[in-house]
Structure 1
Amino acid sequence: MDLTLWWDGWDPIIRIGVIGTLGYIWLVLLLRTTGPRNMAKMTPFDFVLTVTLGSAFGRVLTAREVTVSEAVMAFTLLIALQWLLAYLRRSSRGFTTLVDPGPTLLFHDGQPVEKAMRRHRFTESDLHSAARENGLGSLEDVAVVILQADGTFAVIPASAMGDGSAVRPYLGS
């Protein structure tokens, strides 16, 4: 039986300790310097960054052929690309429209917006859950449900609607 499956000496253990510590410190510094944007509610792009960083960090820890400088470059590149994407989203309305899903009206005037519900694969049960999570007894107490870009529901109670002007920008969704 090959015992290297269980123990291959101290070198790999020390390498993981050193690389893991340096990589973790570098990631924390990068995320700290790029600000809380990366830590806010996750958009699809934030999710991709999180998964990619986790995957890269896992590879750095376990692949003997990955050097510290390669790990630092990989982490820096991923964070820089996220920062560039955030910059483009902030500075270009056209780019923002291209990459951001934007809010979607799911419920209005006592009825689900069927086209939007199908497109986002929601059921009426999901709307009922959103109403309950917002302290409302049923959809009869809800004026509007909007799917936000981060995947959360914005639920506006019927009692807060007034003239309905808050919903007009979403009626085309």
Structure 2
Amino acid sequence: MLFDDWSGVIRITLMGAMVYPAVIFMLRISGKRTLSKMNMFDLVITVALGSTVATILLSPDVTFAEGATALALLILLQFLVTWFEVRSKAFTSLVKGEPQLLYYEGQYMDTALKKERVKTDEVRQAVRSEGILSMDEVEAVVLETDGSFSVIKKENAAGESSLKDVRGLK
């Protein structure tokens, strides 16, 4: 249970020594966006890459060439999705959700909260995590496309609103 033989340990060590630089190389050439967490699809790719690396390291049935091909395929698909996403609004709507307004100007958006399966206490928790004591200090709370909450404080600032692309704004 604790140890079978040295062959498995040596295989994992050698495979790790080959896979690690391969992953670094592929991520460097694919760009920073590959591991970003800007939306749900990005998170899925990040988890899939980690799972693939674990499988390459731990499964004796997977060769380095097969594992490297799987990693390269995932990274290529992520690159293509983000490439098309930047160039096509229609494609973006297929792979990316919209930020959702959950609280605005003193009012909880009940329909949006139910649709997104978020409770009011989770909204207040997000506000507290920003160090804000009172909901009176909050202009809006937005559920972002990556599942995080953005809390916008009340201010009298001019210029373009950061809420302009948020679903649910009047």
| TM-score (normalizing by structure 1) | 0.84
User: Could you tell me which residue of structure 1 aligns to residue 111 of structure 2?
Assistant: 115
Distance 1:165 1:33 in 2: 35
Q: How far does residue 6 in structure 1 lie from its aligned partner after superposition?
A: 4.9
Greater Cα shift, 64-73 or 163-172: 163-172
Partner letter of residue 58 of structure 1? Answer: A
Distance 1:34 1:121 in 2: 35
User: Could you tell me which residue of structure 1 aligns to residue 40 of structure 2?
Assistant: 44
Structure with the greater alpha carbon radius of gyration: 1
Q: Is residue 100 from structure 1 mapped to residue 83 from structure 2 by the alignment?
A: no
Q: 1:2-26 deviations in whole A, cap 9, x for unaligned?
A: xxx5544433222211111111111
Matches within 5 A, 1:22-101: 22-101=18-97
Report the secondary structure of 1:65's partner residue.
Answer: coil
Q: 1:14-54 deviations in whole A, cap 9, x for unaligned?
A: 22111111111111111122121133335211221122122
Structure 2's unaligned 5+ residue stretches are none
Q: CA RMSD in A?
A: 2.4
Q: How far does residue 162 in structure 1 lie from its aligned partner after superposition?
A: 7.0
Report the secondary structure of 2:147's partner residue.
Answer: coil
Q: In 1, are the aligned partners of 2:98 and 2:167 still within 8 Å (CA)?
A: no
| TM-score (normalizing by structure 2) | 0.86
Number of equivalenced pairs = 169
Q: In 1, are the aligned partners of 2:142 and 2:150 still within 8 Å (CA)?
A: yes
Distance 1:51 1:70 in 2: 18
Report the secondary structure of 1:41's partner residue.
Answer: coil
Structure 1's unaligned 5+ residue stretches are none
